[in-house]
Structure 1
Amino acid sequence: MMKSFLLTAALAAFALQAPAQTAPPATSTPRAAADQIATSKGPLTVQPITHGSVVLTWNGKTIYIDPYGGAASYTGLTAPDVILITDIHGDHLDPKTLAGLSVGKAVMIVPPAVAEKLPAEYKPQVRILRNGQQLDTLGLRVSAIPMYNLPEAADAPHPKGRGNGYVLTLGGKRVYLSGDTEDIAEMRALKNIDVAFVCMNLPYTMDVNQAAQAVLAFKPGIVYPYHYRGQNGLSDVAAFQKTVNAANKKIDVRLRNWYPSAQ
């Protein structure tokens, strides 16, 4: 009887341990589901990655914006044809992440300050854009626009002229990527923006209300709050949505989880 009891107990203990022993290891960092937006040349797929990083896929081309957070965050995604980098800070220019990705065929579009800091192996792939310049490549147009802090100061985290925000024109749609900025005049003056990615994190960029007022000024069709982790945690993107839609219900504010590992 005692032997039977001990055998039963041993089998029960093995059964409890087995799931932990046989569970497959995680192969990638979790990420939010992708969205699709119609264009005249097929869907634009929007894949949030983390913080200020996003992957766009359109017309057979894949665009990485500010690849950051480790190569595992990009597991299963197509290698980039174009890489846009907005600024020199480590959450935008991340050589370690770049080194772990298959970037050999990618055109790298960057401001001069980023070009100076990129590893030498990437130099043949680099195309430099300054604020106000544009480049047509692979069927899309990339326009560089200012991104900076207010009031303007040489010692600001983001002085005017160093980094680029970008407007992409593809398939009849205009896509704005704010980079690290405040609610500057150049953002408020944007026209005909179909999709916007807008930052909101203190003390580096702007607060939720500043971001909302800027969006209400240039009226994008769709807006994604991104880059919203600051010194005091995550910004209240639900409050951003409420403020925008209280004044303009036509703006489609899409809240996506850019920080899944923080949950």
Structure 2
Amino acid sequence: MKSTLILAAALAAFTTSAQAQTAPAPRAAADQIATKKGPLMVQPITHGSVVFTWNGKTIYVDPYGGAAAYAGLAAPDVIVITDIHGDHLDPKTLAGLSVGKALMIVPQAVADKLPAEYKAQVRILRNGQRLDTLGMQVSAIPMYNLPEAPDAMHTKGRGNGYVLSLGGKNVYLSGDTEDIAEMRALKGIDVAFVCMNLPYTMDVQQAAQGVLAFKPGIVYPYHYRGQSGLSDVDGFKKTVNTANKKIDVRLRNWYPAAQ
């Protein structure tokens, strides 16, 4: 009887351990945004990583944080990567995902650092270039630090922000940038993902003023973990909506594992 109890306890412990290893990481609920070609599903993952599902296609943005964060999601048809830093270009996460059939849209600096096994899947876009593929348009937008300097963490031309045009909706992904003129000059942005984390990108007030300049219909603060912890996204929302109540500021938990 005693040995049976010991065996049962061991089996229960093993099952619990296995479940803990295979359970998907917690993540915020997905949002749905209407487009002319069906709903755009927006799934926050973590930090600067998000997954879009639209028109039968799945798009991964800066896959990072480990493959478990993507458990239960469809394999990507397209992967866009903004920059060379490890929270954007994460070979370990890529290696754990089913990315063999995905088109990878990246800047040259990322292409230079990708493992050789992905080279045939890569399409390089430089700032100002556009790619039409799989029924969508992908435009590369500058992202960089101010003031411009050769030793800046993000130099102009190295990385890409992106505008994805999906069924009549324009979706802007800021990447790691500050409140640059190119962002302020954007037109017709329906959905924006805007970073705010010091000292790598911009502070909350810079991000708010940039958003108020280009007036997206919806804005998600993302990529808001910095050296001093998480940025004040509630303050961002208050600043934006005090000046412009029409902008739908959507606060989502991009760091659920930290809770």
Give the shorter-chain TM-score range.
over 0.9
Q: Does 2:133 correspond to 1:154?
A: no
Q: Deviations over 1:55-76 (max 9, x none)?
A: 0000000000000000000000
Q: CA deviation at 1:41?
A: 0.4
The percentage of aligned residue pairs carrying the same residue is 85
TM-score under structure 1 normalisation?
Answer: 0.92
Tell me which residue corresponds to 1:57. 53
| Alignment partner of 1:39 is 2:52 | no
- SS at 1:205 equivalent: coil
Counterpart check, 1:138 vs 2:134? yes
The Cα offsets for residues 197-228 of structure 1, whole Å up to 9 and x where unpaired, read as: 00000000000000000000000000000000
Equivalence for 2:65 = 69
Aligned structure 1 segments of 4 or more residues deviating by more than 4 angstroms = 20-24
Letter in 1 for 2:161: G
2:99 is aligned with 1:103: yes
**How many angstroms does 1:235 deviate by?**
0.2
Residue 190 of structure 1: aligned partner: 186
Q: In the alignment, is residue 215 of structure 1 matched against residue 202 of structure 2?
A: no
Question: Is 1:201 aligned to 2:185, yes or no?
Answer: no
1:175 aligns with 171
What's the counterpart of residue 88 of structure 1? 84
Q: Residue 109 of structure 2: SS of its match in structure 1? A: helix
One-letter identity of the residue aligned with 2:155:
P
**How far does residue 28 in structure 1 lie from its aligned partner after superposition?**
1.3
Letter in 1 for 2:169: K
How far does residue 25 in structure 1 lie from its aligned partner after superposition?
A: 2.1
Residues 1:251 and 2:247 are matched in the alignment: yes
Letter matched to residue 167 of structure 1: V
Partner SS, residue 168 of structure 1: strand
Quick check: 1:237 aligned with 2:246?
no
Work out the CA distance in 2 between the residues paired with 1:99 and 1:134. 27
> SS where residue 99 of structure 2 aligns?
coil
Classify the secondary structure of the residue corresponding to 2:100.
coil
Which runs of 5 or more structure 2 residues have no equivalent in the other structure? 1-5
In the alignment, does 2:109 pair up with 1:113?
yes
In the other structure, the counterpart of 1:25 is: 19
Residue 183 of structure 1 aligns with an amino acid whose one-letter code is: D
Q: Which amino acid aligns with 2:106?
A: V
The 2-side partners of 1:56 and 1:183 are apart by: 25
Q: How large is the Cα RMSD of the aligned pairs?
A: 1.5
Deviation string, structure 1 residues 35-65 (Cα, Å, up to 9, x no partner):
0000000000000000000000000000000
